[in-house]
Chains A and B, each alone.
Chain A
Amino acid sequence: MAQQEQLSRYDQRMYALMNRTEGAPLYRTAARRRAVVGAHVVLTVASVGAWLATVAGRQDWATWVMLALLVPWCVATGTINGATRGLLELRTRALDERQRAERDRVKALAHRIMNWLLFATVVGAGAAQLSGVDVRATVFQLAVGVLVAHWLMPMWVAGLSARDEPEGFDVEE
């Protein structure tokens, strides 16, 4: 963590929030972190699907599905943030040199993954159009899906690349 005197009260509050350990059992092992990220991806896809059904499909039931998914999605988001100790949520000045390097690595990897995802989307949409499917009707849905993936990809990558808590000798405080 950067020196305390450089941090605003907001930074300190966020730092304390991101370093709370109540949720630690949920992300203690790599398998659990993978499960949480997997659940987050599923919840995100379902939430975006429900939102699109609400705004584009005009399905009223989808609003309730979206609201029902909101709380578990927030819990999963908080768990990933706990696992990464707020790597992507804290301001740069609240991170130390290792965390800043880690964040740069995570963002670079997420950027590469998004390049491939965008490439696959464009190729898939082009192929579908050539095969006779009218892709123009789904441009909005595709754009929203890609936007959400672009927004959350760094968090998923950070959750998957978080490491186990250092063990071994430590002095009791």
Chain B
Amino acid sequence: MSEQVHNRLAMVRAERKVSRQSLAEAVGVHYQTIGYIERGQYNPSLDLALKVAKFFGLPVEALFSLEPFKPLTDQVYGHGRDQ
């Protein structure tokens, strides 16, 4: 049994201007693994998810979620909320 874990790793990585290779070296995995996590083709272990979150200085739930993330504009500007 496997469940889709959603993530916004690619977005955060782009925002912080961190390459896959740099992130991979920092958390001790192959750079392809970072790419597969971003594409949703691999769900990281709790250990790896925590290491990635620590690297970016973010809580793990800011990067990984069992529910799809809301678009950033919705979160910042509140679009889509009932007025």
- Grouping DSSP codes into helix (H, G, I), strand (E, B) and loop, the A interface class, with mixed when no group exceeds half, is loop
For residue A168, which residues in chain B have a CB less than 8 angstroms away from its CB? 10, 35, 38-39
For residue B47, which residues in chain A have a CB less than 8 angstroms away from its CB? 97
With most chain A CB atoms within 10 A of its CB, the pick from B21, B32, B45 is: B32
Q: How many A-B residue pairs have CB under 8 A?
A: 59
Instruction: Decide if A171 touches B30 in the complex (CB within 8 Å).
Output: no
CB distance from A166 to the nearest CB of B (A): 2
For residue A22, which residues in chain B have a CB less than 8 angstroms away from its CB? none
For residue B39, which residues in chain A have a CB less than 8 angstroms away from its CB? 166, 168
For residue B36, which residues in chain A have a CB less than 8 angstroms away from its CB? 98, 163, 166
CB distance from A112 to the nearest CB of B (A): 19
Quick check: is B83 within 8 A (CB to CB) of the other chain? Answer: no
Instruction: Name 26 A/B residue pairs within 8 A (Cβ), A-sorted.
Output: A1-B25, A1-B28, A1-B29, A85-B32, A95-B30, A96-B28, A96-B29, A96-B30, A97-B33, A97-B47, A98-B33, A98-B42, A163-B41, A165-B32, A166-B32, A166-B34, A166-B35, A168-B10, A169-B10, A169-B14, A170-B19, A170-B20, A171-B17, A171-B18, A171-B22, A172-B19
Closest A-B pairs by Cβ, 7 of them: A166-B35, A96-B29, A171-B19, A98-B33, A3-B28, A98-B42, A96-B30
